[in-house]
């Protein structure tokens, strides 16, 4: 499957969810499947945000704004160049997704949906990431699951990566055929 088989007007997919939901792993696999470029949203964090998270402190909305605006600018740049990108980004609140996507019709949100116990188990096994497992509760407390009005594709994460990507591609293709 390539980008030619889904909506040709689609230029960006933001893969969202709490830390440990698989955003980077699933996003990279989705990008490979589509033949698109992958970007990890974490790379757009200013150094002060990374230091704050490493110290075990959750970010506040003031911390997040420049990060979200940098990702939104990348989405706009890619779309203007008629390119394609998959970006992994937590995008936990509706207000954050509004900054990232707003009313764009050329971008789609993919929500990786899983329960706290499943994700906590994944985080416990993860090494070398700046987000400590202890902040997972704050991520779930902040999470505002997206609704249908956000042009969201929701996928459960209780399967292997390839099955999750299959589900995403099937849903993206289906929404393209419906003109959503």
129 Cα distance to chain centroid: 17
Task: Output the pLDDT for position 3.
Answer: 42
Q: What is the DSSP letter of 45?
A: S
Taking the C-alpha atoms of residue 67 and residue 42, their distance in angstroms, rounded to an integer, is 9
User: What is the chain's pLDDT, residue by residue, as a tens digit (180 residues)?
Assistant: 444 467 888 999 999 999 889 999 999 999 999 999 999 998 999 999 989 888 878 788 999 999 999 999 999 999 999 999 999 999 999 999 999 998 899 999 999 999 988 888 877 776 654 455 567 788 898 899 999 888 899 999 999 999 999 999 999 988 765 555
Burial class of residue 65, CB neighbours in 10 A (0-12, 13-18, 19+): middle
CB atoms within 10 A of CB 40: 16
List the 85-88 sheet strands across, edge first. Answer: 37-40, 85-88, 12-16, 107-113, 152-156
Torsional class of 156: left (φ above 0), alpha (ψ -120 to 50), beta (otherwise) = beta
What are residue 107's DSSP bridge partners?
A: 12
Going from the N-terminus, what domains does the chain have, and what CATH number goes with each? Answer: 3-178 (3.40.50.300)
Which residues lie closer than 8 Å to 104 by C-beta, 6 or more apart?
Answer: 12, 75, 79
Taking the C-alpha atoms of residue 114 and residue 125, their distance in angstroms, rounded to an integer, is 16
Task: Output the pLDDT for position 176.
Answer: 62
Task: Output the pLDDT for position 5.
Answer: 61
């Amino acid at each position: 499957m390539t980008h030619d088989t889904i909506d040709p007007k689609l230029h960006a997919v933001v893969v969202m969810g709490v830390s440990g939901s698989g955003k980077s792993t699933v996003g990279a696999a989705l990008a490979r499947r589509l033949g698109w470029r992958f970007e990890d949203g974490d790379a757009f964090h200013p150094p002060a945000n990374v230091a704050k998270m490493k110290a075990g402190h959750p970010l506040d909305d003031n911390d997040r704004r420049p990060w979200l605006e940098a990702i939104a600018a990348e989405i706009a740049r890619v779309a203007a160049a008629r390119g394609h990108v998959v970006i992994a980004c937590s995008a936990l609140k509706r207000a954050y997704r509004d900054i990232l996507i707003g009313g764009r019709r050329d971008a789609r949100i993919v929500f990786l949906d899983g329960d706290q116990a499943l994700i906590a188990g994944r985080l416990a096994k993860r090494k070398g990431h700046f987000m400590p497992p202890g902040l997972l509760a704050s991520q779930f407390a902040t999470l505002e699951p997206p609704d249908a009005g956000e042009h969201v594709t929701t996928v459960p994460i209780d399967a292997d990566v390839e099955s999750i990507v299959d589900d995403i591609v099937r849903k993206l293709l289906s929404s393209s055929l419906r003109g959503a």
